[in-house]
A and B are shown apart, each in its own frame.
Chain A
Amino acid sequence: MLMKLARLSLWNRRGTVLMTVLSLVISISLLLGIDHLRHEAKNSFTSTVSGTDLIVGARSGQLNLLLYSIFRIGNATANISWETYQRIQNHPQIAWTIPISLGDSHRGYRVVGTNQDYFEFYRYAGQQQLQLAQGVIFDDVYDTVLGSEVAARLGYQLGQEIVLAHGIGQVSFSQHQDKPFTVVGILAPTGTPVDQSVHVSLQGIEAIHIDWQQGAPMPGRRVSAEQALEMDLTPKAITAFLVGLNSRAATFLVQRQINEFRGEPLTAILPGVALAELWQMLSMVERLLLVITVLVLLAGLVGMTTTLLASMKERQREIAILRAVGAHPRTLFWLVQLEVLLITLVSMLLAMAVLMVGLWFGQDLLASRYGLFIGLNPIRQSSLQLMGLVLGLALLLGCIPSWLAYRKALTDGLSVRL
């Protein structure tokens, strides 16, 4: 009966109740959405690279090395000579390496010079290997394999010829126009920076720079694409390399040996540690966002309280009637709390539905625009905790109008001031 009263009473005031529910739906879906994105972003972020035991680059900070080698953000301060790379590669503990040579770009997308090991050993999101959506892995010097986003955004097909630019700007004035590359493969989406990379062989990188010096074409010396193929295309240097060890137990030993390498100043980092450190910096923003959402939620709940408080005046009659038929003052307290509960539960369910529909529609957009892969199911332990928090806060704030109803029931009795 009390439930029926609460339900019908709310329905009777559906105009204002609807607005209250609307504001709560917005704030709750915002809260759950941000929380969901937070977790998904962290997952996606920390799974950018896996299975790699060490990342080695020229001496620098670990974040810098992580950013340019994995996230294609920023630049290396120095290179690693090919000889050094060869020597470390032969270390008995090292199972495999993936060389990475950076510095060129194609219409804003970074060019990664590497070799076939990249496609064999690179792992992301657990044990996921890179998959080709179309075509094959590069074999020829002037072959290129595109990340999924590059191909999708620029509309490239297999067999198409593309020209690489020197440097990493969106607009570059120095193009390697004389040596175009042919698209031979397109990778499947991964949700990592691999999607935004243009992969070519180390020899290809060497070939396009063979007639360059100090970042500019050497005047008076032109080497055609065909001529370059005749020349020695062994790279002189690479930017960084990823290392897989025979045994994880040797990680710290090999790291120290590389860090203390006499031939050249090098830095070896553990990707997991560096990722965690980077995430810590980013999570400041994420936490701030969460705090703002909680405040938005609080505003929504205060709005609900205000609406219920305002309705108390017009409900004096209702209270007097219920008292006349024998309702206790505390029954009226629980009646209003029940209304709070109903409003909050309905809002939470609607918010969940809004969020799921939003994710369903937004998923493709996020994946294609930002390479972010977001799971559709926003229900997890933390979201259930947040829902509990919402409900608790709602009932706590609901005590204010409920208490007012209780007071009115107690003091006004059967008299109704019209």
Chain B
Amino acid sequence: MKVGQPVTDKPKNYVIELKNLRFRWPGKQGWQLALDTLQLEAGQHLFIRGASGSGKTTLLNLLSGITTPNEGELWLQQTAMHKLSAAKRDTLRAQQIGVVFQQLNLIPYLSVLDNVLLVARFANRTGGELTERATMLLQHLGLQDELHHKKATELSVGQQQRVAIARALLLRPALLIADEPTSALDADNRDAFMKLMLAEANESGTTVIFVSHDKALQGYFSWHLAMEQLEQGVQPC
């Protein structure tokens, strides 16, 4: 839980560590995103509050390795993501980073189970134990067996979001990035969703970075930051 503190030595056991990160879209003037430092230890969950246009999409693209910073360092555990090629970052994302979107997380024409197992293909992982784990995760998330072979589109939005969590956690990644995953859910569903997500993340030993504009969700997290604070590199509130 060290934000803003100067870091000089080699990264330790941080799940994610940012150093003097700078990013700009090609052909644009000025930095779109400037983060001096951010360190997250294993098992810590971070809530980032930010409205659209606050650079949070850019941050998520950087954290998930879709884009790469122009300057600075970005470490995922012992891996220097800023030095990896695009293809290696893609594979790293499959293996170590789970991503959950606002909604429509699932490929409509695949079954629920196939949607969960999709990530294994790109991580070059196969095996029966993955199917077992997928089934188990789905059950833990309150999705009964009879739903597993239905098409993704036959599920309710709340159920779809839970399937997305199962997929994101299937390979026990180091990091789970959730981008407003509750915005399409009603209050009751949202509460259940948050609890299940965090419980399963803890179970998998996964660190969660949760981005939302909804202050009401802050309570689930011990550590929260606003996008603006993050950019200025101030201490957490």
- Encoded as 1 (CB less than 8 Å from any A CB) or 0, chain B from 48 to 92 comes to 000000000100110010110000000000000000001100111
The reply to whether B61 and A414 form a contact with Cβ atoms under 8 Å apart is yes
- List residues of chain A with CB within 8 A of the CB of B95: 326
Flag whether B31 is at the interface (Cβ < 8 A): no
Q: Which of A8, A322, A327, A416 contacts B109 (CB 8 A)?
A: A8
Assuming the contacts A1-B121, A323-B66, A414-B60, asked whether A328 and B87 have C-beta atoms less than 8 A apart, the reply is yes
Classify chain B: how many residues form its interface, as a range: 20 to 34
Can you name the residue of chain A whose Cβ is closest to the Cβ of B91?
A326
Flag whether B107 is at the interface (Cβ < 8 A): yes
Q: Which of A8, A328, A416 contacts B90 (CB 8 A)?
A: A328
CB distance from A331 to the nearest CB of B (A): 8
The reply to whether A325 and B101 form a contact with Cβ atoms under 8 Å apart is no
Interface residues of B in 98-115 (CB under 8 A from A): 99, 101, 104-110, 114
Interface residues of A in 1-18 (CB under 8 A from B): 1-2, 4-5, 8-9, 11-12
Flag whether A413 is at the interface (Cβ < 8 A): yes
Flag whether A320 is at the interface (Cβ < 8 A): yes
Q: Which of B57, B64, B87, B107 contacts A318 (CB 8 A)?
A: B107
The reply to whether B123 and A413 form a contact with Cβ atoms under 8 Å apart is no
Can you name the residue of chain B whose Cβ is closest to the Cβ of A321?
B107
- List residues of chain B with CB within 8 A of the CB of A323: 66, 90
Interface residues of B in 188-228 (CB under 8 A from A): none
Bound-state CA distance A72–B101 (Å) is 79
Bound-state CA distance A11–B122 (Å) is 22
Bound-state CA distance A5–B86 (Å) is 23
Assuming the contacts A11-B109, A413-B67, A414-B64, asked whether A326 and B93 have C-beta atoms less than 8 A apart, the reply is yes
CB distance from B56 to the nearest CB of A (A): 11
The reply to whether A324 and B90 form a contact with Cβ atoms under 8 Å apart is no
Q: Which of A4, A317, A414 contacts B66 (CB 8 A)?
A: A414
Flag whether B118 is at the interface (Cβ < 8 A): yes
The reply to whether B108 and A328 form a contact with Cβ atoms under 8 Å apart is no
Bound-state CA distance A4–B114 (Å) is 10
CB distance from B159 to the nearest CB of A (A): 16
Bound-state CA distance A4–B94 (Å) is 19
Bound-state CA distance A329–B65 (Å) is 13
The reply to whether B86 and A320 form a contact with Cβ atoms under 8 Å apart is no
Flag whether A224 is at the interface (Cβ < 8 A): no
- List residues of chain A with CB within 8 A of the CB of B64: 324, 414
- Chain A-chain B contacts (Cβ-Cβ < 8 Å), number: 69
Flag whether B119 is at the interface (Cβ < 8 A): yes
Q: Which of A11, A414, A416 has its CB near the most chain B CB atoms (within 10 A)? A: A414
The reply to whether B101 and A327 form a contact with Cβ atoms under 8 Å apart is no
CB distance from B41 to the nearest CB of A (A): 24
Bound-state CA distance A208–B140 (Å) is 103
Flag whether A127 is at the interface (Cβ < 8 A): no
Flag whether B172 is at the interface (Cβ < 8 A): no
- List residues of chain B with CB within 8 A of the CB of A329: 86
The reply to whether A12 and B108 form a contact with Cβ atoms under 8 Å apart is yes
- List residues of chain B with CB within 8 A of the CB of A12: 108-109
The reply to whether B57 and A325 form a contact with Cβ atoms under 8 Å apart is no
Interface residues of A in 307-325 (CB under 8 A from B): 317-318, 320-325
Bound-state CA distance A321–B109 (Å) is 13
Q: Which of B91, B101, B114 has its CB near the most chain A CB atoms (within 10 A)? A: B101
Flag whether B167 is at the interface (Cβ < 8 A): yes
- List residues of chain A with CB within 8 A of the CB of B109: 8-9, 11-12
Interface residues of B in 118-144 (CB under 8 A from A): 118-119, 121-123
- List residues of chain A with CB within 8 A of the CB of B101: 320-321, 324, 414, 416
The reply to whether B105 and A415 form a contact with Cβ atoms under 8 Å apart is no
The reply to whether A325 and B94 form a contact with Cβ atoms under 8 Å apart is yes
- List residues of chain B with CB within 8 A of the CB of A320: 101
Assuming the contacts A12-B109, A323-B66, A324-B99, asked whether A413 and B90 have C-beta atoms less than 8 A apart, the reply is no
Can you name the residue of chain B whose Cβ is closest to the Cβ of A330?
B87
- List residues of chain A with CB within 8 A of the CB of B86: 328-329
- Encoded as 1 (CB less than 8 Å from any A CB) or 0, chain B from 160 to 179 comes to 00000001000000000001
CB distance from A14 to the nearest CB of B (A): 10
- List residues of chain A with CB within 8 A of the CB of B91: 326
The reply to whether B122 and A415 form a contact with Cβ atoms under 8 Å apart is no
- List residues of chain B with CB within 8 A of the CB of A324: 64, 93, 99, 101
Assuming the contacts A413-B66, A414-B66, A414-B99, asked whether A325 and B167 have C-beta atoms less than 8 A apart, the reply is yes
The reply to whether A413 and B61 form a contact with Cβ atoms under 8 Å apart is yes
- List residues of chain A with CB within 8 A of the CB of B118: 1, 321-322, 325
Some 10 contacts from A to B, beta carbons below 8 A apart, are: A4-B114, A321-B101, A321-B106, A324-B101, A325-B99, A325-B118, A326-B91, A414-B61, A414-B179, A416-B101
Residues of B within 8 A of A (CB): 57, 60-61, 64, 66-67, 86-87, 90-95, 99, 101, 104-110, 114, 118-119, 121-123, 167, 179
